[in-house]
Amino acid sequence: MYDYLIVGAGPAGCVIAERIAAILDKSVLIVEIRNHIGGNAYDYYDQHGILIHKYGPHIFHTNSKVVFDYLSQFTAWHLFELRVAANVDGQKVPIPINLDTINELYGLNFSETDLIKFFELAAEPVDSVTNSEDVVISKIGKDLYSKFFKNYTKKQWDLWPDELDPSVCARIPTRTNRDSRYFTDKYQVMPKEGYTELFRKMINHPNIHLMLQTDYRAIEQVIPYKRLIYTGCIDAYFNYKFGKLPYRSLTFSFETFDLEYYQNTAIVNYPNEYDFTRITEFKHMTRQMHPKTTLSYEYPAAVGQPYYPIPRDENTKIYNKYKAEADKLKNVWFVGRLGTYKYYNMDQVVTQALNLFESLKSLENI
């Protein structure tokens, strides 16, 4: 009899398992349907010996000292500030849009004050911002919207920005200074030995047992447990009784070149050309020295692994029905990106898992 059964060995499952095992001294079984731990943050050395991220580039960034300190128990880090270029009108310019983007794109020599005026003139006021097109056009106008946002969003979601919640495009800021960092969080780092190693250390505890390549459905009636923490898809747990929660998926194709580096930055976005959205060159992020380099090409897809919850009102309504059912259950908790149907970064998922742990502690009278 296990004290806790945890479904999923992604970031959420590993964090909660570690806390329960180490602090509550309870027994934990983690079941993971894939053949590896780490969830979508999984990285591994490919056949050429290059460290790559199987499910797309993962950069750790957070403003939370609590999360950073917690994870630092399991890894050393190196600093890494992501810079992304967008291939627009034949040029590779910084994204998020900043002063250099505009100057390079239009061959100008604007100051920051000039750019503020430029955006004010370009912006088209909207009565109320109700979708992702409104968000962008009301700040920087139609031309930049068309060059950077419109087609990228359509490729990524197979929906036009005016069909998507404002939050989708609002994730990408517009700057008037020359800050070319993709993220502005206080901590921007990469685990020195990779994410898989971080999570391996995290769950390396005598109270934790791990079963890979095991669907929770296959063991739930067979292996006894007292409490369940579920980080898989919440609709799957309830046998899709209110309908399937839709996700946008991705496929990745990897290619290795006999070159030290292929591009100048870790990620180059292709908003308007090709079927893929971006090319990632992992060595920029991992700092690995190697005579060859491996790239990933990222293709959005309608079917496949559940990556991005689709933020539309109708989907939130379905999720809320599952959430209401989940709240009625005793000794079952849903956590993580799939368990709560939210686009969460790793730090947010770690926060969620640490918060859940605080509730479990009071339940266990600790």
Ligand X SMILES: Cc1cc2nc3c(=O)[nH]c(=O)nc-3n(C[C@H](O)[C@H](O)[C@H](O)COP(=O)(O)OP(=O)(O)OC[C@H]3O[C@@H](n4cnc5c(N)ncnc54)[C@H](O)[C@@H]3O)c2cc1C
Would you tell me which residues interact with ligand X (CB under 6 A)? 7-13, 31-34, 39-41, 55-60, 215-216, 231-232, 250, 307, 336-338, 344-347, 349
Least Å distance between CB 280 and ligand X?
A: 9
Q: How far apart are CA 352 and CA 232, in angstroms?
A: 15
Q: How many CA atoms lie within 13 A of 292 on its CB side?
A: 15
β strands within 208-266, DSSP E: 208-211, 225-230, 247-257
User: Is 31 or 105 the residue whose CB approaches ligand X more closely?
Assistant: 31
Shortest Cβ 352–ligand X spacing (Å): 8
How do strand 267-269 and strand 84-88 relate by DSSP bridges?
Answer: parallel
Under 8 Å between Cβ of 341 and 12:
no
> In the complex, what is the shortest distance from the CB of residue 160 to ligand X, in angstroms, rounded to a whole number?
21
CB of 144 to ligand X, least distance (A): 24
Radius of gyration of the chain (CA): 22
The residue (of 170 and 219) whose beta carbon lies closer to ligand X is: 219
If the CB atoms of residues 103 and 345 are measured against ligand X, the closer one turns out to be 345
Q: Which lies closer to ligand X via its Cβ, residue 13 or residue 94? A: 13
Of 322, 158, 171, the closest CA to residue 247 belongs to 158
Which secondary-structure segment (H or E) carries 62?
strand 60-62
Alpha-carbon torsion, ordered 14, 19, 25, 28, to 10 deg: -20
Instruction: Tokens for 320, please give them.
Output: 């809320």
Element (H, E) at 267: strand 267-269
DSSP count for the chain of H helices, then E strands: 14, 17
> Least distance to ligand X from the beta carbon of 191, Å?
12
- Which residue, 56 or 141, is less far from ligand X as judged by CB? 56
Amino acid identity of 86? A
Rounded CA separation 36/39 (Å): 8
Between strands 60-62 and 77-79, the pairing is unpaired
What is the residue type of 49? G
Quick one: 145 or 247, whose CB is closer to ligand X? 247
The answer to whether the beta carbons of residues 148 and 271 sit under 8 Å apart is yes
Smallest separation, CB 37 to ligand X (Å): 8
Kindly state the smallest distance separating residue 249's Cβ from ligand X, in Å: 9
Extract the tokens encoding 171: 């994730």
Report which DSSP code applies to 245.
P
What's the min distance (Å) between Cβ of 307 and ligand X?
4
The least distance separating ligand X from the CB of residue 350, rounded to whole angstroms, comes to 9
99 or 350: CB nearest ligand X: 350
Q: Given the complex with ligand X, which of 139 and 337 has the nearer CB atom?
A: 337
Q: Which is nearer to ligand X, 30 or 102 (CB)?
A: 30
CA distance 99 to 174: 9
